[in-house]
Amino acid sequence: MSSSPISSKDQFVALSEFRYRLRRFLRFSEDAARRAGLTVLQYQLLLHIAGFQGRDWATIGELAELLQAKPNGVVALVSRCEDLGFVKRRPSRHDGRQVEVHLSAKGRRYLTRLATQHQEPLLLLAEALEQASSGRLPERQG
């Protein structure tokens, strides 16, 4: 994919606005997770398990890719979440070398509450992304 260089003031303004809204979204997400008693990584882990395409569980390797983390770090994160009752590990029925990581009922409750809180901020971020990609000038929303 070839793209034209960004050169106009309007393009820089749109890109700046997107980065601003992205940071606001991430800050909101961090604060919401903390208020719910989770770390940001714990929330993301739960989200990636529930959102894994085609099934209701994921492997450590798949989660490591989604979190952009090293597998040994994800093992430690899964262990902490398991100790807190958010996830359960199960041996893979298809590959004895792998472990399936599933959400527990408690993990799903926490995730549902947090994901619901993220809906409106996510819509604002999506709007900013569309504006940045089209080069339209956004209206800053405080």
Separation between Cα atoms, residue 79 and residue 122, nearest integer Å: 29
Q: The domain spanning residue 101 has which CATH number?
A: 1.10.10.10
Establish if 115 belongs to a structural domain.
Answer: yes
Q: What tens digit of pLDDT does each residue of 7-55 get?
A: 778 778 888 888 898 999 999 999 999 999 999 999 999 999 999 999 9
Establish if 88 belongs to a structural domain.
Answer: yes
User: What residues make up the domain containing 114?
Assistant: 9-132
Please return the burial class of 55, using the count of CB atoms within 10 Å of its CB with bins 0-12, 13-18 and 19+. Answer: exposed
Give the pLDDT band (50/70/90) at residue 125.
Answer: confident
Kindly state the helix (H) or strand (E) to which residue 45 belongs, with its residue range: helix 40-50
pLDDT of the residue at 103: 98
Establish if 1 belongs to a structural domain.
Answer: no
Q: Please state the rounded mean pLDDT for residues 112-130.
A: 91
For the chain, how are helix, strand and coil distributed in percent, rounded to 5? 65, 10, 30
Q: Say how many domains are in the chain.
A: 1
Whole-model pTM?
0.83
Q: Please state the rounded mean pLDDT for residues 117-135.
A: 86
Establish if 82 belongs to a structural domain.
Answer: yes
Q: Please state the rounded mean pLDDT for residues 107-127.
A: 93
Percent of the chain with pLDDT over 70: 91
Q: What tens digit of pLDDT does each residue of 60-111 get?
A: 999 999 999 999 999 999 999 999 999 999 998 888 889 999 999 999 999 9
Establish if 26 belongs to a structural domain.
Answer: yes
Establish if 140 belongs to a structural domain.
Answer: no
Q: Is it the case that residue 141 has pLDDT exceeding 80?
A: no
Separation between Cα atoms, residue 81 and residue 4, nearest integer Å: 44
| Angle, CA of 120, 124 and 126, to the nearest 5° | 110
Task: Please state which of the ranges 57-61, 101-105, 134-138 shows the lowest mean pLDDT.
Answer: 134-138
Q: Is it the case that residue 124 has pLDDT exceeding 60?
A: yes
Establish if 138 belongs to a structural domain.
Answer: no
pLDDT of the residue at 5: 72
From 5, 77, 92, select the one nearest 41 (Cα to Cα). 77
pLDDT of the residue at 134: 76
Establish if 34 belongs to a structural domain.
Answer: yes
| Angle, CA of 62, 101 and 28, to the nearest 5° | 75
Cβ atoms within 10 Å, residue 7: 8
